[in-house]
Amino acid sequence: MTETFSCCDDQRQATVSRRRLLATGAAGAFAGLVGSQLDTGLAFAADASYDGDVIVLLSLRGGFDGLSAVVPHGDAAYYTARPGIGVPKAQLIGGDAVFGLHPALAPLLPYWTGGQLAAVQAVGQPAPNRSHFSAMEELERAAPGTSIRTGWLNRMLGTLGGADPFQAVAMGTAMPARVLGGPAPYLGLTSIDKLQLTGDQADRPIAATMSRLYEGAPAALAQTAGQLTGALSRGAGLRAAGYTPANGAVYPDTDLGRALRDVARLIRSGTGLMSATVDSGDWDMHENLGVAAPGRRMYDQLKAFATALAAFAADLGPEGLSRVSLITISEFGRRVTQNGSGGLDHGYGNAMFVLGGGVRGGRVYGRWPGLTAADLRDGDLAVTTDYRSVIGEILRTRCGAADLSAVFPGVTASSLGLTTSR
């Protein structure tokens, strides 16, 4: 029978299963112990020698329309397919003979022209999958055709080592995405300022009691308890220190803005962060996507996205950004042809953005397949570049991951030349 120990206040209850704790041993976890504030998984040995980039994975959930963001104005079929929502060439920014950026991305234009921001077009998963749930699961597991069930980012952390929960953070959520699923350490935080043990108060010192409880315990148990209480202590230190964004950066008061602010806070505080995940939702625009003008859905959503990313980059400054690779992913793209509701249904090929100091930016990478009927994959933009190979190139050049087989089985890093080597 599973025995649980509970600590609760008027609003929350948290439990930890003795069976789970004893069964997991050195890889034990206190998942859910702090209710809505923290989810942890603990294992592996630290690698203090890591000097690669911090990987920031920004998931654009709902199916991002890469053809609206990185517009193929040089392909006449684009405007034929989207007579009501196509972005006119005259409104595009940062363009070349084939592509241009949506005007709502203007806050990011300095990073595009300055060479820190790039895009990859016609990128995606090995096979079409138009189900939000299963496509995102496959995207984050990133090992189709295998029995592997861990997330690729957790596998990356395992290859690089680390026992400190602050080395991997899912920011803005207490339930990290499947991409972090696995034995390597991670934290799921709603925010840094809310990192605390549920119910821990001056007259009810639960964390201190836990520390005393595990004094003299076997190493397997004492280690996990120590990691949890250590994380709480460091969180308290970060709260006490407060945070003021640098370089005049002003984050929007949105979920994405607040999450990226906290990621920048961890990077600048020197906590040893190796990776962070952030979610940005509401990209599932089946109707009323709108023309490229303020007040329309896609415009406003892209403007909010760009404003948050620009604030993040400004806050880090050139030195901080030189140690960061931010990558956007989405479970699938949208159909090439607009539907009868002025929106776009689930599709296949998509665009990715990469932002960082090691990026060879200001251009669109990848082989463009074209948008004529003969070029499409069941009516969708074809995928010519596996998203895993793009990430693999970044892991190889920026993180020192020489062997990608443990992260992306059977995948070779792309040779796009997207990033410089550290």
Q: Is residue 416 included in any domain, yes or no?
A: no
Q: Is residue 352 part of a domain?
A: yes
Please give the sequence-ordered ranges of beta strands (E in DSSP) within 337-394, or none if there are none.
350-356, 364-365, 385-386
| Inside any domain, residue 404 | no
Which CATH number covers residue 106?
A: 3.40.720
Question: Do the domain assignments include residue 403?
Answer: no
Q: Give the total residue count for the chain.
A: 422
Q: How far apart are CA 379 and CA 360, in angstroms?
A: 32
> β-strand 350-356 against 324-329: which pairing, if any?
antiparallel
Mean pLDDT of 39-46: 42
Instruction: Considering only the C-alpha atoms of the chain, give the largest distance between any 2 of them, rounded to a whole number of Å.
Output: 72
Give backbone dihedrals phi and psi of 362, rounded to 5 degrees, phi first.
80, 15
18: pLDDT strictly greater than 80: no
Asked whether residue 282 carries a pLDDT value surpassing 80, the answer given is yes
Question: Is the model's pLDDT at 161 over the cut of 70?
Answer: yes
Report whether pLDDT(176) > 90.
no
- Average pLDDT of 244-272? 96
pLDDT at 163: 65
pLDDT confidence band for 12 (50 / 70 / 90): very low
Q: In the prediction, which pLDDT does 208 show?
A: 77
Q: Are 119 and 416 in contact (CB under 8 A)?
A: no
Average pLDDT over residues 306-335: 98
Helices (H), 249-364: 255-269, 297-321
Mean pLDDT, the chain, rounded, equals: 86
Mean pLDDT across 186-202: 82
Distance between CA atoms of 354 and 385, rounded to whole angstroms? Answer: 15
- Report how far apart, in Å, the C-alpha atoms of 180 and of each of 57, 176, 386 are: 11, 7, 20
- Domain membership of residue 421 (yes or no) is no
Q: For residue range 267-276, what is the model confidence (pLDDT) as tens digits?
A: 999 888 999 9
* Of the candidates 418, 119, 411, 154, the residue with the CA atom closest to the CA atom of residue 274: 154
pLDDT per position as a tens digit, 96-149: 999 999 999 999 999 999 999 999 999 999 999 999 999 999 999 999 999 999
Distance CA 38, CA 175 (A): 8
Decide if 123 is inside a domain: yes
> Is the Cβ–Cβ distance between 263 and 223 less than 8 Å?
no
Can you give the residue range of the structural domain that contains 189?
Answer: 27-398
Which amino acid does the sequence have at 63? G
**Is the overall model pTM greater than 0.85, yes or no?**
yes
Torsion angles phi and psi, residue 406, rounded to 5? -75, -20
Query: What does the pLDDT read at residue 235?
Result: 85
Confirm whether 410 is domain-assigned. no
Indicate the number of domains in the chain.
1
Domain assignment present for 417: no
Do the beta carbons of residue 56 and residue 326 sit within 8 Å?
A: yes
